[in-house]
Each structure stands twice: as C-alpha cells, then as structure tokens.
Amino acid sequence: MPSYLGAIGTANPLHRIAQPQIADFMAQALALDEHDTRKLRALYRVSGIAHRYSVVPDYGRANGEYTFFPNTPDLEPFPTVGQRMAVYRREALPLATAAVRATLRQVPDVAPASITHLVTVSCTGMYAPGLDIELVQALGLRPDVRRTCVNFMGCYAAMNAVKLADAFCRADATARVLIVSVELCTLHFQKSPGEDHLVSNALFGDGAAAGLVQAEPLPNGAPSLALQAFHCGLEPDGHDDMAWHINDFGFEMTLSSYVPKLIQRGIRHLTDGLLNSLPVQLADIRHFAIHPGGRKILETIEAELGLTPDDNRHAYHVLRDYGNMSSATVLFVLREVLAHSSPADYGAPVLSFAFGPGLTMEAMLLEISAGSALAGHTHEQALTPAQSTFTQQPSAPVLSVH
C-alpha cells in the first residue's frame, strides 16, 4: 500500500523584493559599468522571476541603508561564513515553524504529539544542536520523536526526505512523518562577476515548506498525493557544472550554462527508468511538478519530453512568485498541484523531477487521491490556503504563510 503526502504548508520571509530592484543592488555591489549593467538587467528580465523573498532586506535598498552588508562602496569587510550562519540560526526556526503550523492547520485532528518522525532538510545553513531539536521544542513534539537531518544535498534534497518518509510509513502503518525544508539561499550572495555567480544571484530566494506523510490519505475529502515510485539518475559529466562548496565568505554555488544540456541528455532516460516497471506511460500523465531550477531548465524538459508550458504551469508560477528556493521549491510546486486539483483529477498520476549537485536527477511518481471521507469541509474549503501572518514570539519577524 502507498503512503500519502497530504497537507503541505509554506512560508516566506517578510521581505518580498522585485527582480528589477535586486538587479539594481547587484549592479551597484559588483560596480558594473553601463554596458555590463544592461546585460545584467537583461538576464534578470528573462529569468521568469517577478520577485523573490529574502531574510536580508538589503537587496531592495540603496547603499547607506544596509543592515547585513557593510554600508561601504565595495561592501567590505564582506560578511564571513560565521556572520551568515548567525543570521541563518536566527531566521531558520521561525520560518520553518510557520511552514509547519500552516501544514497542521489543514489537519486539525493531527496533534503535534502524534508525530512519530521528523525529517529536516536544508543546504544553506547548519548548526548543532540544530533545527531539528529546536523544532521539537518549538512545536511541542514528543522528545522521543525520531529525527533525521538531510543536509547539504541541494535542490533535490526534499525528494530524499519524501523517500525517507515513505519508507518509514511502509515499515510502520502508524507512522506520521513531518518533513520540514528551510532554505535561506540569499545569505550566500557572492560578490563576483563570474558567470556562475551572476546566474545564481539572479535565481535564488528564501522559503520554507513542510508536509505530512502518513499511511492513509487525509480525511474530509481533502486530496492527498499517493507516493507510487521513485528513481534516481546521475550525470557524472556534470560533476563540475552544478556544485555547492563552503568557502570563507559563504556557500558558493557553481551553476554553469551547460546544466540544461546535461538535463536534456538525461531526462528521457530518467523518465523511462521511473516508468518502465509501472503501468503508466508518459502519454498518460497530465500533471507535472518539476523543480523550477530556472526557466531554461523548464523549457529544456518541455522540448525533450513533449510537454507544453501549460503542463508546466505550476512550476512557472512558483518560479515567477518565489524564484528557486533550493530544496523547498518542489514542495511549493506540489502544493500548487494539490491546491488546483478537483475531483475529476482523482486517480491521475503526477510526475515530479528535481535536480542538484552531481549532477543528480531525481524522479517521483505520485497519484492524486481522494480523502478517506467526504464529511466535514468541502473540497474547496480544504484547499484554500490560509493567507495570514504568524509571529512565533514578539521578537520574531513577520512571515508570509500559505
């Protein structure tokens, strides 16, 4: 029997910054001349991103008003890893907690004390005792909840968290697994005009997502995603084209322009590897949840698999409204799939992809499933995301919660 990914909640920091504002910050920070500034602004215009969220307000401010970067023309002394991790530790917990509470509001019958497993995911910050232990205390989880941390794997890491949760639930039908992904990508801005850094600075934003996995679908008619199958592929030729390293002044992303070509070369093989042993063909699939690593990646997959932009609409919407939030992003896309499903979609397969260093390509097949009962909330009531703000404590930042 499959396990089910049901309620998915998301949260973002207070600071929602338009892409052109971020481009202006970058041009100033990199001291670009007029010609290179025009090129940079063109890159931001074609990114497919309208705005991104950040725990750092500076990206939407002029020099002289910065609170994280130095108010100097060259941003020196540039923030160290230690300074960036101090912000991560301060901001990650309230953001993750808000995403969890947005999840649990959708399942009022699930008490925090009934959670048996906690899987935390992040590649943009680490400390110990870590986020997992702080979440146990902040949420009132049982002290004996089984904790697993998935760290530093990159954008595909949430797929591994879902696989772990699925394994826990298949081994124990009473398991309730809470997945929490939090990524503060914008802490790692690199003051470099290199192509890799220009591209990554144009794409990444901050966000958190949480999901509940259990051995049965949600009650009251709310749809869930039945976890059907997983498959992983590697393109070793891309070892140096997508990478993530800890250096003296932040975590540095390598993201070369060759990545879409590597994905193009491997995506059909990845899809076939997932579907070959299943009674599902690509032609049967009309719902997709593809990690929007960038507009070019989405377009490349469409061309290779014969998809349309409408097939990919959920990924484009997330890319437009949030940018690439590393591991949390695919959960935002899956939330869109659930939020826009209808009873006519019950039983329909969903194909999901995510990518990361290695070059790693992960695939997952899910199925939209009806809730275990139709009493209580209507389908529309269960799916309407709560738009509110959450403050964990008086000193915590206000968060955008969905």
The pLDDT value recorded for residue 309 is 96
Domain range spanning residue 70?
3-220+386-401
Judgement on whether residues 104 and 181 belong to the same structural domain of the protein: yes
Q: Is residue 377 part of a domain?
A: no
Residue type, 291: H
Q: Which stretches does DSSP call E strand in 152-262?
A: 176-184, 206-214, 224-234, 242-247, 250-255
Give pLDDT tens digits for 116-142.
999 999 999 999 999 999 999 999 999
Give the pLDDT confidence score for residue 379 in this predicted structure.
Answer: 31
CA distance 43 to 202: 8
Residue 22 has pLDDT above 80, yes or no: yes
Residue 238 within any structural domain of the chain: yes
Read off the pLDDT band of 256 (50, 70, 90): low
Do 188 and 202 sit in the same domain of this protein?
A: yes
Average pLDDT estimate for 162-175? 97
Give the type of residue at 290.
I
pLDDT of residue 289: 98
Residue 380 domain flag: no
pLDDT band at 382 (very low <50, low <70, confident <90, very high): very low
Residue 379 lies in a domain: no
For residues 12 and 156, state if they share a domain: yes
Examine the domain organization and report whether 27 and 151 are in the same domain: yes
Least confident of 237-251, 252-266, 288-302: 237-251
The pLDDT value given to residue 381 = 30
pLDDT in tens, 319-337: 999 999 999 999 999 999 9
Both 176 and 264 in a single domain?
no
d(CA 388, CA 402): 7
Regarding whether 391 and 346 lie in a shared domain, the answer is: no
Q: CA separation (Å) from 370 to 165, 172, 217, 230, 353?
A: 20, 22, 7, 21, 23
Q: Does 245 share its domain with 156?
A: no
pLDDT score at 398: 47
* Shared-domain flag, residues 311 and 216: no
Mean confidence (pLDDT) of the chain:
89
Residues with catalytic roles = 155
- How much is the average pLDDT of 164-171? 97
Q: Are residues 159 and 243 in the same domain?
A: no
7-16, 19-28, 229-238, 313-322, range with the lowest pLDDT: 229-238
What percentage of the chain exceeds 90 in pLDDT?
75
Q: Please identify which residue in the block is written with the tokens 């590597």.
A: 262
Judge whether 232 lies within some domain. yes
> Tens digit of pLDDT for each residue in 194-210?
888 898 899 999 999 99
User: Does residue 381 belong to any structural domain of this protein?
Assistant: no
Determine, yes or no, domain membership for 48.
yes
Are residues 203 and 105 part of one domain? yes
Q: Which residue has the higher pLDDT, 210 or 233?
A: 210
CATH code of residue 181: 3.40.47.10
- Average pLDDT of the residues in 174-187: 97
Residue 323 lies in a domain: yes
Are 222 and 335 in contact by the 8 Å Cβ rule? The answer is: no
Output the pLDDT for position 264: 86
Based on the structure, what is the number of domains in the chain? 2
Going by C-beta distance under 8 Å and a sequence separation of 6 or more, which residues neighbour residue 128?
none
Indicate the pLDDT class of residue 192, thresholds 50, 70 and 90.
confident
Q: How confident is the model over 213-228, as pLDDT tens digits? A: 999 988 777 899 999 9
Answer yes or no: do 195 and 332 share one domain: no
pLDDT in tens, 70-119: 999 899 999 999 999 999 999 999 999 999 999 999 999 999 999 999 99
Mark whether 240 and 125 lie in a shared domain: no
Tokens standing for residue 32 = 């670009």
pLDDT at residue number 395: 34
Least confident of 6-10, 80-84, 331-335, 357-361: 357-361
pLDDT value of position 184: 97
